[in-house]
Chains A and B, each alone.
Chain A
């Protein structure tokens, strides 16, 4: 009984920790390149987050199932190979789903390969844990990553474009803060979110 309960808490924990306590964007501050580059609209942020989550899940599962077979010396190269494969597959899949979607994401999809979040989960978690735990870990981190991206994308789109998910929310007289869509706005917004997270975590502790 207690063992069962333990296992449940452990697997819930694998999932939950990525959402808040070890949030990849706000706590681990990993994968900043896509976070800053693709978070200028909420829609792009969401699509990018979902694509990353898929790659993260697939690579974690594969790395975890091959963990006894991969020699330690070449593990990083192998992980990159696996990650690159799934990114390429996602790229083709998105092209086959919709030309429009591929158009808006095209340039950033291939950049998922170098997202250090995925590599770090493969190295730090999947290579040492069972397949199911690795899958949960990937899902948790993925959802946390989507959350972080949409937090940034939402703020930047609202202030920089006056819209959220392409829906206008301000009267026409609203003057957009162009800077928020530009790369500099990404840094500002990230800094403010990090501040919010740090203060709220400090208060709790």
Chain B
């Protein structure tokens, strides 16, 4: 006698549960979508602004930049305006149109998550002249010193990244050394308490410079000429 009643009661119970969950789920989804859409333009704008600022920062003296794309054949072409391609670099020029250097984005595994950095390369002096962390989730107070620590930033003010005679590989690899043991300009003086993050930065730079520097040297004229007819 009682059995059918219990079942029907349970059914209404589940219906109610379902309604509540689906209802609240929909409201939540709506709220998230609205916030996302509402903040997206501003977030995009801020990110672009931050990137632009970072480009000028890693290329001291520059105040104009042109984006260059690299195609599959290894040719570098100027590509003003926005695009989503990964294979791009930014050339920075002074107001008079002199090439200061090339800002290159690089990323790799850090201690917590992917570290995304931007560094400036001066092709004439064959040196890294600036460094900026675009994105990192390194431990606050320790690993995030790669962004703020002044003496760590000092590593990248004039880091020697000369290419060998062949023009295909560097003379010295970029390596991290223990804090205070830096002797050569291609070594990265590590941060106490952030050894893994320091090493990660060194290996990101090592990988990225090995990849990009020969390409940039090959296409050196491109960077200079493009600016002249603009």
Complex Cα–Cα for A84 and B28 (A) = 9
Complex Cα–Cα for A78 and B20 (A) = 8
> Given that A81-B28, A89-B35, A96-B46 are contacting pairs, would A104 and B144 also be in contact in the complex, using a CB cutoff of 8 Å?
yes
**Complex contact B13–A98 (CB within 8 A):** no
CB contact list, B44-66 vs A, under 8 A: 46-47, 50
Question: For the complex, is B154 an interface residue (Cβ under 8 Å from A)?
Answer: no
**Complex contact A92–B36 (CB within 8 A):** yes
**Complex contact A81–B25 (CB within 8 A):** yes
**Contact among B46, B47, B137 with A106 in the assembled complex (CB-CB below 8 Å):** B137
**Complex contact A74–B17 (CB within 8 A):** yes
Complex Cα–Cα for A107 and B39 (A) = 19
Interface size range of chain B in the complex: 20 to 34
Question: For the complex, is B125 an interface residue (Cβ under 8 Å from A)?
Answer: no
Chain B residues, CB < 8 A from A66 = 24
Question: For the complex, is B42 an interface residue (Cβ under 8 Å from A)?
Answer: yes
Chain B residues, CB < 8 A from A103 = 135-136, 147
**Complex contact A44–B140 (CB within 8 A):** yes
Question: For the complex, is A182 an interface residue (Cβ under 8 Å from B)?
Answer: yes
Complex Cα–Cα for A92 and B46 (A) = 12
**Complex contact B20–A74 (CB within 8 A):** yes
**Complex contact B24–A40 (CB within 8 A):** no
Question: For the complex, is A160 an interface residue (Cβ under 8 Å from B)?
Answer: yes
Output the least CB separation between A186 and chain B (Å).
10
Interface 1/0 per residue, B97-140 and A, CB below 8 Å: 00000000000000011000000000000000000000111011
**Contact among B16, B50, B141, B147 with A44 in the assembled complex (CB-CB below 8 Å):** B141
**Complex contact B39–A93 (CB within 8 A):** yes
Chain A residues, CB < 8 A from B43 = 92, 95-96
Question: For the complex, is A85 an interface residue (Cβ under 8 Å from B)?
Answer: yes
Interface size range of chain A in the complex: 35 or more
**Complex contact A77–B21 (CB within 8 A):** yes
**Complex contact B28–A96 (CB within 8 A):** no
**Complex contact A71–B20 (CB within 8 A):** yes
**Complex contact A73–B17 (CB within 8 A):** yes
**Complex contact B50–A95 (CB within 8 A):** no
Chain B residues, CB < 8 A from A74 = 17, 20-21
Complex Cα–Cα for A189 and B135 (A) = 30
**Complex contact A95–B39 (CB within 8 A):** yes
Interface 1/0 per residue, A90-119 and B, CB below 8 Å: 001101101100011111100000000000
- Besides A74-B20, A103-B147, 12 more A-B contacts (Cβ < 8 Å) are A40-B140, A41-B141, A66-B24, A71-B16, A77-B21, A81-B25, A95-B43, A103-B135, A104-B140, A107-B112, A178-B193, A181-B142
Residues of chain A at the chain B interface (Cβ within 8 Å): 38, 40-41, 44, 66, 69-71, 73-74, 77-78, 81-82, 84-85, 88-89, 92-93, 95-96, 98-99, 103-108, 157, 160-161, 178, 181-182
Interface CB pairs A-B, < 8 A, 22: A66-B24, A71-B16, A74-B17, A74-B21, A78-B21, A81-B21, A81-B25, A82-B24, A84-B28, A93-B35, A93-B39, A95-B39, A96-B39, A96-B42, A96-B46, A99-B50, A104-B140, A107-B112, A108-B140, A181-B193, A182-B142, A182-B193
